[in-house]
């Protein structure tokens, strides 16, 4: 049996799909996997920020078409690229693993983030990172950049930047951990919802769906779905500053979240039973809304 798996064409996306294939082959004997490489609108439109071209869905729509027309049985996404609402035909069938969820700093000359000079130029295409960077260092200049990992790293020199912020997970999966100069604490510099996690999307009644179900990681799913519940409650996406991170300790789930309302970034946390992860995400969002009303 051959299972066809859709992926974006970037080196990181293909590497992540290879990781999913490894999981599948460990769980299922006699399964062959074939990658279906596609280019999405988000890959083509590198001249503008994501919030200007439709947000997270620009990385998933073309891949979902491949599921609908039968070119692929499943699709691998970075969970942070997935909209909180899937179409009626689709299902998030597996969340197999989570790499390091933190954001990372890569510098031009080996300088640590804390040692950057006043007016340093830092590149990022994320409004979440932009907003949190400005809280840490109001004196630095934020330069918008987009593209795959290699393209953004090359822009350090091309754009005369002091450094850039990237997801640690992607760098580690590409074997590029050595270029990371600093990691940001995920409770201080809150990651994107689902950052570091992979997701496998299928049709709800898709062919070979049981193959993908076999690699689902229950603990990772609890955290990521709690974070996505927070995002869904606040109607979050690439057009707003939002982040969340959940961790499990036995049967307890702890989550921290940020959300920008007006000119204020509000951060709150919450803890409860892991089985209540969806309700905890909703409650965390409501906590932030109540806090915003209080400080008005």
Active-site amino acid positions: 81
DSSP element (H, E) containing 4:
strand 2-8
Distance of CA 257 to the CA centre of its chain: 14
Closest by CA to 149, choosing from 175, 128, 113, is 175
Cβ atoms 291, 269 nearer than 8 A: no
Q: Is 257 exposed, middle or buried (0-12, 13-18, 19+ CB in 10 A)?
A: buried
Q: Within 10 Å of residue 178's Cβ, how many Cβ atoms?
A: 6
- The widest CA-to-CA distance across the chain, in whole angstroms, is 61
Q: How far apart are CA 285 and CA 296, in angstroms?
A: 17
CA 21 vs CA 207, 211, 212: distances in Å: 17, 10, 10
Indicate the DSSP class of residue 98: B
Contacts by residues 115-121 (CB-CB < 8 Å, ≥ 24 positions apart): 116/140, 116/162, 116/163, 117/162, 120/162, 120/163, 121/159, 121/160, 121/161, 121/162
């Amino acid at each position: 049996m051959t299972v066809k798996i859709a992926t974006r064409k970037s080196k990181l996306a293909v590497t992540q799909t290879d990781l999913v294939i490894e999981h599948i082959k460990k769980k299922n004997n006699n399964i062959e996997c074939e990658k279906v490489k596609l280019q999405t609108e988000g890959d083509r439109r590198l001249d503008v920020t994501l919030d200007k071209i439709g947000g997270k869905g620009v990385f998933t729509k073309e891949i979902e078409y491949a599921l609908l027309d039968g070119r692929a049985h499943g699709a691998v996404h970075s969970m942070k690229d997935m909209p909180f609402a899937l179409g009626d035909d689709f299902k998030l069938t597996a969340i197999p693993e989570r790499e390091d969820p933190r954001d990372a700093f890569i510098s031009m000359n080996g300088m640590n983030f804390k040692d950057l000079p006043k007016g340093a130029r830092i590149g990022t295409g994320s409004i979440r990172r932009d907003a949190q960077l400005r809280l840490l260092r109001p004196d630095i200049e934020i330069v918008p950049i987009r593209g795959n990992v290699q393209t953004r790293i090359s822009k350090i020199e091309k754009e005369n930047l002091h450094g850039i912020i990237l997801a640690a997970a992607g760098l580690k999966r590409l074997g590029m951990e050595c270029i990371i100069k600093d990691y940001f604490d995920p409770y201080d510099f809150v990651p994107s919802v689902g950052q570091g996690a992979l997701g496998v999307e299928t049709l709800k009644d898709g062919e070979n769906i049981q193959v993908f179900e076999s690699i689902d990681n229950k603990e990772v799913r609890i955290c990521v779905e709690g974070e996505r519940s927070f995002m869904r409650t606040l109607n979050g996406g690439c057009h707003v500053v939002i982040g969340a991170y959940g961790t499990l300790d036995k049967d307890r789930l702890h989550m921290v979240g940020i959300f920008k309302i007006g000119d204020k970034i509000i951060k709150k946390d919450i803890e409860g039973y892991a089985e209540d992860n969806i309700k905890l995400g909703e409650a965390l969002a409501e906590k932030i809304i109540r806090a915003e009303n209080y400080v008005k």
